[in-house]
C-alpha cells in the first residue's frame, strides 16, 4: 500500500478539528487496507508511532541525525535546513521545503510503500553497536530520497514522534468499530486486554464481533491496569463495600506488571512501557520466586531507604529512566516488589475470578524473600481493626490502604468502586500543561506560570482547571521552559498555548466551584509537586475525577 495514501490521511486529519470527521477519515482508511498483516502496524502509524509504547524497540534518532539524513537525500546543507526550522518553527515543514528544493533528482525513485517505511524504521530501531549512527543515517536517507515533500514531512514527524493529528486511543477505537462494523465495547474490551490496536484491528476485520469477544489476555501483551477511587476514610470504604473487605497496604512506589514465560521475564510500568532492562535484579529474582511456568502478576515496586523504610515513588522512576551504569543504581536505590494480583497462571486467565481466589492463586506461586513479598493484607469488616491497620501502615511510611471487594473481578482499565484507596490527605491531581505565561524581570526568559488541564475523554481534549506558579525551583522553571518550548502551538503576548503532552502532579488547598473555567472548577493555591513522566496525557486525571474529588472534599469536611 502506498505511503502517499497514509500521508493524505495525515493531511486530512490535520485540516479538521472535528472528532467526527477525524473518526470517519480513519475508519475509511482502515477499511481500505486490504492486507490484514498491514493492519497490525497501521493503527500505530496513524497514532504517529512506529511501535506500541510497550514495545521495547526505539528508533534512537534525534533531530540532528534526521536533518543529516534529509541533507544527504537532498544535497542541501544541514545548516540551511536548521535555519529553515528556525523560520518555520516546524521540522516537518522544513523537511518538506528541503525535499521541494532537492538538488539531485533521482531517476530511479521508487514510490514509498507503507511496508517499506515500516520495515526500514524497524531496521533503524534494531541497528546498534559500532557505527550504528552511520548505518541509521543511510537507511533514513534512502527513505527521504524517495519521499515526496508531503511524505517527507510526515515521515520526519513519525521518526521524531511529533505527529499532531489529534488522534488518540479513543478515536482509534471508534474508528475500528466504524470501519469493520463491530461493537465499540468489544473493541474497547479487546484493547484493554491486549493493549494492541494492531491485533485488535486485525481481529475486527477478519473475525468481527465474535472474534473480538473471544480475545484473551496473552503473556507478552500488557493489560490495562484496574484502578481505584479515593474513599474519605476506612469507615466509608467499609460502608461502601458492605461485609468483609480485603485491606492491603497502599505502597508508595511504581506499579509493575510482570510477564513470565519460562525463563523470559518482561516487566511493564504503570504506563505499560517496557522497563525490563532498567531493573535486571528484579527480573532475576522474579525468575526464581515465581513457581509457575507462565504467569502475569502485578505488584508495586518500592524503593527502600534506611532501616527498610520506603522512599518516595520518584526514586523508582529514576531507576526506570536509567539506561547506563545500571549496576551502580542497583546499589544506590534498592527495590522491593510487593505483589498484589495474579491475572494469568499457566494457561488460565484469572481476571474473571473473584479477588479472593486470585489472591490464593498468587500465594500458591510466590516464594517470598527479602525483596519479593506479597502485599500485606487484612481481611475484616471491623472498623477499629481496619483503622489500626491503616495507622500502622502510615507509621511504617506507606501511603495508606487499598480496600478491595473480595468478590470483585479484575476490570482492566476501569476506575470503579471495587477498589478504593484511603490516604490521609486529599490526593494530588495529575494534570496536563496546556498553556504557559512568560515571567517578568529575573524570570523573563522562562515560563513562570502554567495553565493546567484535566482530561475530557469524551472530547479527547483538556479542560482548564487552574494556573500554577508555585512549588517550582529556578531549575525546574528552566527545565520546564526547555521541555515546553518545542510544544508551543500559539503565542499571544506573554501567553502561549502548549500542546498537551506533559503531565504534572499538583497539590492544592481545595477545589472550588468556579465560573472562571469552562470545567466549572478551579484549584485554590495549586502547587507543583512532581513531573509525572510515567503518565501519558490521556492517563492524566479526568474532569470527572476533579468533580469526584470535590464531592469527596465536601464529604471529608462534613465530618
Ligand X SMILES: Nc1ncnc2c1ncn2[C@@H]1O[C@H](COP(=O)(O)OP(=O)(O)OP(=O)(O)O)[C@@H](O)[C@H]1O
452 in Cβ contact with 465 (< 8 Å):
yes
Please classify residue 333 by burial: count the beta carbons closer than 10 Å to its beta carbon, then call 0-12 exposed, 13-18 middle and 19+ buried: middle
Strands 400-405 and 372-374: unpaired
Is 248 within any annotated ligand binding site? yes
Instruction: Give the H/E segment covering residue 153.
Output: helix 149-159
Report the site for ligand X in 335-374 (rule: CB under 6 A).
340
Which DSSP symbol is given to 55? S
144/112 Cα distance (integer angstroms)? 9
Q: How far is the CB of 554 from ligand X (least distance, A)?
A: 20
Which residue stretch of 82-90, 237-245, 249-257, 327-335 sits at the interface with ligand X (rule: CB under 6 A)? 249-257
Which residue stretch of 59-67, 162-170, 246-254, 434-442 sits at the interface with ligand X (rule: CB under 6 A)? 246-254
269/335 Cα distance (integer angstroms)? 14
Which DSSP symbol is given to 263? T
- Under the binding rule (CB under 6 A), the answer on residue 228 touching ligand X is yes
Instruction: Select 166 or 312, whichever has its Cβ closest to ligand X.
Output: 312
Question: Binding mask 197-226 vs ligand X (x if CB under 6 A, - otherwise)?
Answer: ----------------------------x-
Report the site for ligand X in 375-394 (rule: CB under 6 A).
375
Is 300 within any annotated ligand binding site? yes
Q: How far is the CB of 313 from ligand X (least distance, A)?
A: 8
Q: Grid coordinates representing 558?
A: 462534613
- Under the binding rule (CB under 6 A), the answer on residue 418 touching ligand X is no
58/53 Cα distance (integer angstroms)? 9
Q: How far is the CB of 545 from ligand X (least distance, A)?
A: 9
Instruction: Select 3 or 344, whichever has its Cβ closest to ligand X.
Output: 344
404/237 Cα distance (integer angstroms)? 9
C-alpha triplet 477, 478, 480: angle, nearest 5° = 65
Report the site for ligand X in 64-103 (rule: CB under 6 A).
none
Query: What are the catalytic residues?
Result: 250
List Cα–Cα distances, 130 to 133, 135, 136, in angstroms.
8, 9, 11
Which residue stretch of 95-103, 244-252, 510-518, 523-531 sits at the interface with ligand X (rule: CB under 6 A)? 244-252
125 in Cβ contact with 58 (< 8 Å):
yes
Is 108 within any annotated ligand binding site? no
Q: Which of 78, 122, 141, 227 binds ligand X (CB under 6 A)?
A: 227
Instruction: Select 323 or 395, whichever has its Cβ closest to ligand X.
Output: 395
Q: Which of 342, 421, 453, 542 binds ligand X (CB under 6 A)?
A: 421
Which residue stretch of 181-189, 208-216, 243-251, 320-328 sits at the interface with ligand X (rule: CB under 6 A)? 243-251
Instruction: Select 117 or 249, whichever has its Cβ closest to ligand X.
Output: 249
Is 357 within any annotated ligand binding site? no
533 in Cβ contact with 458 (< 8 Å):
no
Which residue stretch of 69-77, 168-176, 245-253, 320-328 sits at the interface with ligand X (rule: CB under 6 A)? 245-253
350 in Cβ contact with 361 (< 8 Å):
yes
Q: Grid coordinates representing 541?
A: 486525571
Is 115 within any annotated ligand binding site? no
Q: How far is the CB of 6 from ligand X (least distance, A)?
A: 34
Instruction: Select 153 or 250, whichever has its Cβ closest to ligand X.
Output: 250
- Under the binding rule (CB under 6 A), the answer on residue 455 touching ligand X is no
481/446 Cα distance (integer angstroms)? 6
366/377 Cα distance (integer angstroms)? 15
Q: Which of 51, 197, 199, 251 binds ligand X (CB under 6 A)?
A: 251
405/10 Cα distance (integer angstroms)? 45
Q: Return the residue matching grid coordinates 534498592.
A: 334
List Cα–Cα distances, 226 to 19, 98, 415, 454, in angstroms.
27, 47, 6, 20
Q: How far is the CB of 89 from ligand X (least distance, A)?
A: 35
Which DSSP symbol is given to 2? B
547/339 Cα distance (integer angstroms)? 31
Instruction: Select 90 or 341, whichever has its Cβ closest to ligand X.
Output: 341
Instruction: Select 69 or 297, whichever has its Cβ closest to ligand X.
Output: 297
CA terminus-to-terminus distance, the chain:
64
Q: How far is the CB of 146 from ligand X (least distance, A)?
A: 44
The closest of 158, 176, 157, 167 to 17, measured between CA atoms, is: 167
Q: Which of 19, 22, 224, 255 binds ligand X (CB under 6 A)?
A: 255
Instruction: Select 240 or 427, whichever has its Cβ closest to ligand X.
Output: 427
Instruction: Select 255 or 358, whichever has its Cβ closest to ligand X.
Output: 255
Q: Which of 68, 136, 205, 250 binds ligand X (CB under 6 A)?
A: 250
Q: How far is the CB of 227 from ligand X (least distance, A)?
A: 3
Q: Which of 174, 236, 246, 300 binds ligand X (CB under 6 A)?
A: 300
Q: Grid coordinates representing 148?
A: 515526496
Q: Which residues of 175-185 are buried (b: 16+ CB within 10 A; e: fewer)?
A: bbbbbbebeee
- Give the dihedral sign, CA 535/160/116/172: positive
Binding-site residues for ATP sit at 248, 255, 270, 300, 340, 415, 421
- Interface residues with ligand X (CB under 6 A)? 225, 227-228, 248-251, 255, 270, 300, 340, 375, 402, 421, 427
Amino acid at each position: 500500500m502506498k505511503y502517499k495514501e497514509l500521508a493524505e490521511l495525515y493531511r486530512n486529519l490535520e485540516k479538521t478539528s472535528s472528532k467526527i470527521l477525524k473518526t470517519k477519515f480513519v475508519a475509511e482508511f482502515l477499511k481500505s487496507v486490504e492486507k490484514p498483516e498491514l493492519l497490525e502496524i497501521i493503527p500505530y502509524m496513524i497514532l504517529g508511532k512506529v511501535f506500541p509504547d510497550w514495545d521495547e524497540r526505539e528508533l534512537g534518532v534525534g533531530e540532528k541525525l534526521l536533518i543529516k539524513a534529509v541533507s544527504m537525500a537532498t544535497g542541501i546543507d544541514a545548516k540551511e535546513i536548521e535555519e529553515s526550522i528556525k523560520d518555520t518553527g516546524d521540522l516537518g515543514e522544513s523537511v518538506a521545503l528541503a525535499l521541494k528544493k532537492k538538488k539531485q533528482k533521482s531517476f530511479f525513485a521508487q514510490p514509498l510503500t507503507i511496508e517499506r517505511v515500516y520495515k526500514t524504521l524497524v531496521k533503524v530501531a534494531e541497528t546498534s553497536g559500532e557505527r550504528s549512527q552511520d548505518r541509521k543515517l543511510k537507511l533514513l536517507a534512502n527513505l527521504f530520497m524517495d519521499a515526496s515533500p508531503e511524505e517527507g514531512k510526515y515521515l520526519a514527524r513519525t521518526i521524531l514522534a511529533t505527529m499532531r493529528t489529534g488522534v488518540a486511543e479513543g478515536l482509534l477505537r471508534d474508528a475500528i468499530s466504524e470501519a469493520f462494523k463491530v461493537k465499540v465495547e468489544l473493541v474497547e474490551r479487546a484493547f484493554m486486554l491486549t493493549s494492541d490496536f494492531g491485533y485488535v484491528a486485525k481481529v475486527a476485520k477478519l473475525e468481527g464481533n465474535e472474534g473480538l469477544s473471544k480475545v484473551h489476555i496473552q503473556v507478552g501483551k500488557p493489560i490495562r491496569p484496574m484502578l481505584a477511587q479515593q474513599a474519605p476514610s476506612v469507615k466509608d470504604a467499609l460502608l461502601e463495600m458492605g461485609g468483609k473487605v480485603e485491606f492491603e497496604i497502599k505502597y508508595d512506589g511504581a506499579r509493575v506488571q510482570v510477564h513470565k514465560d519460562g525463563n523470559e521475564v518482561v516487566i511493564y510500568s504503570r504506563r505499560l512501557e517496557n522497563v525490563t532492562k532498567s531493573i535486571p535484579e528484579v527480573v532475576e529474582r522474579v525468575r526464581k520466586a515465581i513457581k509457575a511456568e507462565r504467569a502475569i502478576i502485578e505488584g508495586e515496586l518500592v524503593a527502600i531507604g534506611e532501616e527498610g523504610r520506603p522512599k518516595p515513588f520518584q526514586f523508582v522512576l529514576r531507576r526506570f529512566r536509567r539506561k547506563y551504569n545500571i549496576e551502580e543504581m542497583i546499589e544506590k536505590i534498592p527495590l522491593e516488589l510487593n505483589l498484589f494480583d495474579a491475572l494469568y497462571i499457566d494457561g488460565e486467565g484469572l481476571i474473571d475470578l473473584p479477588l479472593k481466589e486470585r489472591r490464593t492463586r498468587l500465594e500458591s506461586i510466590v516464594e517470598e524473600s527479602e525483596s519479593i513479598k506479597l502485599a500485606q493484607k487484612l481481611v475484616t469488616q471491623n472498623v477499629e481493626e481496619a483503622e489500626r491497620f491503616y495507622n500502622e501502615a502510615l507509621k511504617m511510611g506507606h501511603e495508606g490502604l487499598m480496600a478491595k471487594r473480595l468478590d470483585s473481578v479484575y476490570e482492566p482499565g476501569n476506575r470503579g468502586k471495587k477498589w478504593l484507596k484511603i490516604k490521609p490527605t486529599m490526593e494530588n491531581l495529575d494534570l496536563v500543561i496546556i498553556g504557559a505565561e512568560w515571567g517578568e524581570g529575573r524570570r523573563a526568559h522562562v515560563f513562570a506560570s502554567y495553565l493546567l488541564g484535566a482530561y475530557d475523554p469524551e472530547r479527547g481534549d483538556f479542560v482548564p482547571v487552574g494556573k500554577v506558579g508555585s512549588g517550582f525551583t529556578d531549575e525546574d522553571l528552566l527545565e520546564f521552559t526547555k521541555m515546553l518550548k518545542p510544544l508551543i502551538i500559539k503565542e499571544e503576548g506573554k501567553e502561549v498555548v502548549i500542546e498537551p503532552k506533559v503531565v504534572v502532579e499538583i497539590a492544592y488547598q481545595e477545589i472550588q466551584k468556579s465560573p472562571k473555567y469552562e470545567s466549572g472548577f478551579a484549584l485554590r493555591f495549586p502547587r507543583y509537586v512532581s513531573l509525572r513522566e510515567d503518565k501519558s496525557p490521556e492517563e492524566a486525571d479526568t474532569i470527572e475525577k476533579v468533580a469526584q474529588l470535590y464531592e469527596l472534599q465536601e464529604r471529608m469536611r462534613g465530618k
